[in-house]
Amino acid sequence: DTEVTQTPKHLVMGMTNKKSLKCEQHMGHRAMYWYKQKAKKPPELMFVYSYEKLSINESVPSRFSPECPNSSLLNLHLHALQPEDSALYLCASSQEGGSQETQYFGPGTRLLVL
């Protein structure tokens, strides 16, 4: 199984809502990533978890809150988002988060904030 799955596929939320994005992989990978991708732009890294510990936070606003409950799951909790946060949110995983590792991406969640 070389698949990274993400739910939901699409999400529409208001600025006062609280929602969560979920990501799951069963490849035994110990590093998981959240990326944000705006239209016609490359993915931008948000967070990296390595062995279930947050290792990189790319100065992401606190209205985005990542959580890694176990080595297979990665969540992104959303609260009080702004319309400019509308984007495709991609999850990826790799072996250990070290060098020369391929990152495998999930299909993404397309988020619209109204």
Partner 1 sequence: EDKVVQSPLSLVVHEGDTVTLNCSYEVTNFRSLLWYKQEKKAPTFLFMLTSSGIEKKSGRLSSILDKKELFSILNITATQTGDSAVYLCAVEATGAQKLVFGQGTRLTINP
Q: Which of 11, 23, 32, 48 binds partner 1 (CB under 8 A)?
A: 48
For residue 112, the cross-strand partners are: 12
CB of 67 to partner 1, least distance (A): 19
Contact call for residue 88 and partner 1 (CB under 8 A): yes
Q: What is the DSSP annotation of 23-44?
A: EEE-S---EEEEEEE-TTS--E
Residue 18 vs residues 92, 94, 95: alpha-carbon distances, Å: 23, 28, 31
Contact call for residue 97 and partner 1 (CB under 8 A): yes
Contact call for residue 60 and partner 1 (CB under 8 A): no
Q: Which of 13, 45, 60, 73 binds partner 1 (CB under 8 A)?
A: 45
Rounded Cα distance, 62 and 106, in Å = 23
Interface residues toward partner 1, by CB under 8 A: 31, 33, 40-45, 48, 50, 55-56, 58, 88, 90, 97-100, 102-108
